[in-house]
Amino acid sequence: MIRILTFAALAAFAVQPASAQPKPETKEAVKDKPAAEIPPPTVSVTRHKGVFGGRAIAYTATMGETYLKDEKGKPTAAIVTTAYVAEPRDPKRPVAFFWNGGPGSGSLWLHMGAFGPKRVVVPGDARDDGAPPYPMVDNPHALLDVADLVFIDPVGTGFSRALGDTDPKTFWGLTADAKAVAQVIRTWLNENGRWNSPKYIGGESYGTTRSAAVVRELEGGYSDVGLNGIILVSTVLDFGLGSEAQGNEMVHVTNLPSFAATAMYHGKVPNPPATTAEFVEEARQFATGPYLSALVKGQKLGAAERAEVRRELARFTGLSEDFLEKADLRVAPGRFYKELLRDRGLTVGRLDARYTGRDYDNAGEEPDNDPSFYGIDAGYTAAMNAHARDTLKFPIDRDYVSIGGVRDWDWRIGGRDSNAYLNVAPWIGKAMRENSGLRVFVAQGWYDFATPFFAAEYSLTRTGIPQDRITWKYYDAGHMMYVREADLVKLNSDIRAFIRSGGTGR
C-alpha cells in the first residue's frame, strides 16, 4: 500500500501544468533558509542486575548522546556514552571513564571485551572467531563492584557524529579530540552530581595517548578536574620509538624483547628458560647493552663484536644468522611476522603474535594481513550492535563504526618543531608532579607489536615521571590481552585492586 500511494503521488505531480510546478530555489533563497532543526539528544535508560567481583549489584544503564556546543550555544557534535551506575547511587563512589584508540576506534573493545557487564566470547587460544552467532555472556569480572563505568565514543566512532554543518574533521586531532572528550567528562560530572567522586580515566592503544592528552585538558588549567588514576592498556606515548625511518635505532631496541617472547612462544628458542618473563628480562638486558651499543656504532662496528651480537640476536629472535646479516642486524617488525614461521608456511600477528595466518603464498617480505585482527573483529562488531539495540534499547538508525571511520588526523601538539618528536608521556609526568594523589596503572601483553611493552617501559621511565606511583602488570597475550580468559580475569583483578587501594595498586 505504501508503494502504491507513493507512485500515485508521483503520477499526480507529473500531470500538473508547468505553471503549477514549484520553481527551483535561488542561491540567495537557499542561503537565507534556516538550517534544519537539530533534534534533542537520543537517550535510553534501562535497569539491570548482575554479580560482579562476587557482589550482587543493581545498576542503571544509560546510553545516550551528549551534545557539544560552540560559543554561541549551537550543537556541533553528538558524542555517545554508555554509563553503568550502581544503585542506590553514591556520589562518593569511584567513576571510571574508558575509551579505545585508533584514532578512529569505538570503545567496543574495552566495553564488550573487558570491563563492561556483558562481553562477547571469542577463542582465547589465538583461533579465528569464525561466523555468527557469537556467544554473549554476563561478565562477572567487570569492575562495577568498585566503580561506576562510562564508555565514550569520540566523534566519528561508534554512533557519535558531528551535527548540522559542522565538519567532523574539527574534532579529528590529538588536541581537538582530547578537548571534546574532556568536555564530555565535565558534562557527565555536572549532570550526575559526581564532582567529588574519585575519578579514573583510561584507554587502550591510541586511547592511552588520548588519556595523556585528556589529563592535560582536565588538570592543566585553573578549573581542574582532579584525577585519582590513569589506566593505560597497551600503551603508546612516544611515537618516535615506533618509527621505522632509516637511522632510528631505538625501534629495533624496543621491539627486541617482544621478538624474544614471540620466538619462545612459537618454539623457536633452543633451551628456553622456565618462563617468558625470564627470557624477556634477558632480552631487555641484551637490547639496552650489547645490542644498542652495536647499533649506535653503525659501520664502525668491528667484525668480532658484530659476530657475537649476531649470534645472540639469532638466539633471541629465532631468526637465522644469515637472515640477520642480510638485514644488517636490524629487523623491521613486518619482516619478523613473515620470516619467523616461514618454514611452516605461517605468518604471526601484529596485535597478538600468538595468532598465525596463511598468506596467498610463502614468498614476500611482509604478511598479507594481520591474523590477530581479522580473527576477532566480526565478533566484537556483532556484539556491540546487539547489546546497544537489544539490551540497552538504544533507538538508533546509524551503523556502529567499530574502527576506521576517521581520516586525516591532526597530530600537531603545538609549538615550533613540536612534531619532530611526538611524545605525550611528559604530559603524564607533569600531571603526576602537580597532583600528588595521581597514580598510573599500566597493562601490557608480551605478544603485542602494535604497542610493544618495552617501548612503554622506556617512555614512562624518562626524567620527570614519578616512578613510585606507577603500577606495571604483564599478561600472556597480546594487544587485547582480555581475549584470553585467564588474562581477562587477571586484568580486571589487577585494576580492581588498583582502584580499591586508591590507585596505589598495592
For residues 447 and 420, which has the higher predicted lDDT (pLDDT)?
A: 447
Domains of the chain plus CATH, in order, are 43-240+377-500 (3.40.50.1820), 247-370 (no CATH)
* Residue-wise pLDDT tens digits, 250-301: 999 999 999 999 999 999 999 999 999 999 999 999 999 999 999 999 999 9
Q: How far is CA 233 from CA 27, 348, 495, 498, in A?
A: 52, 21, 11, 14
Q: b/e string for 424-453 if b means 16 or more Cβ within 10 A? A: bbbbbbbbbeebeebbbbbbbbbbbbbbbb
* Residue-wise pLDDT tens digits, 124-152: 777 777 788 889 999 999 999 999 999 99
For residue 36, pLDDT over 80 is answered with no
For residues 221 and 313, which has the higher predicted lDDT (pLDDT)?
A: 313
Across 270-284, 365-379, 435-449, least confident range: 365-379
CA distance 73 to 59: 33
363 sits in the region (left: phi over 0; alpha: psi -120 to 50; else beta) called beta
pLDDT of residue 506: 43
CA distance 413 to 150: 27
For residue 392, pLDDT over 90 is answered with yes
pLDDT of residue 353: 96
For residue 6, pLDDT over 80 is answered with no
CA distance 117 to 134: 16
* Residue-wise pLDDT tens digits, 185-222: 999 999 999 999 999 999 999 999 999 999 999 998 87
For residue 374, pLDDT over 80 is answered with no
Residues 6+ apart with CB under 8 A from 302: none
CB 477 within 8 A of CB 354: yes
pLDDT of residue 371: 86
pTM summary value: 0.90
* Residue-wise pLDDT tens digits, 335-360: 999 999 999 999 999 999 999 999 99
Q: b/e string for 333-358 if b means 16 or more Cβ within 10 A? A: bbbbbbbbbeeeebbbbbbbbbbbbe
**Bridge partner residues of 77 (DSSP):** 68, 162
CA distance 168 to 155: 7
pLDDT of residue 258: 98
CB 240 within 8 A of CB 421: yes
pLDDT bucket at 163, cuts 50 / 70 / 90: very high
Amino acid at position 91, single letter: P
For residue 13, pLDDT over 80 is answered with no
pLDDT bucket at 467, cuts 50 / 70 / 90: very high
pLDDT of residue 417: 57
238 sits in the region (left: phi over 0; alpha: psi -120 to 50; else beta) called beta
For residue 19, pLDDT over 90 is answered with no
CB 499 within 8 A of CB 493: no
For residue 416, pLDDT over 70 is answered with no
CB 347 within 8 A of CB 371: yes
pLDDT bucket at 415, cuts 50 / 70 / 90: low
Place of cell 535561488: 26
Residue 161, helix vs strand vs coil:
strand
For residue 26, pLDDT over 60 is answered with no
Grid coordinates in use for 440? Answer: 598510573
Query: Is the link from the previous residue into 88 a cis peptide, with omega within 30 of 0?
Result: yes
Average of pLDDT values for 238-246? 91
pLDDT of residue 128: 75
Query: Is the link from the previous residue into 257 a cis peptide, with omega within 30 of 0?
Result: no
**Bridge partner residues of 442 (DSSP):** 232, 472
Mean pLDDT of the chain: 90
Instruction: List the helix and strand counts (H, then E) for the chain.
Output: 16, 14
pLDDT bucket at 35, cuts 50 / 70 / 90: low
- Could you tell me what percent of the chain has a pLDDT over 90? 79
For residue 111, pLDDT over 80 is answered with yes
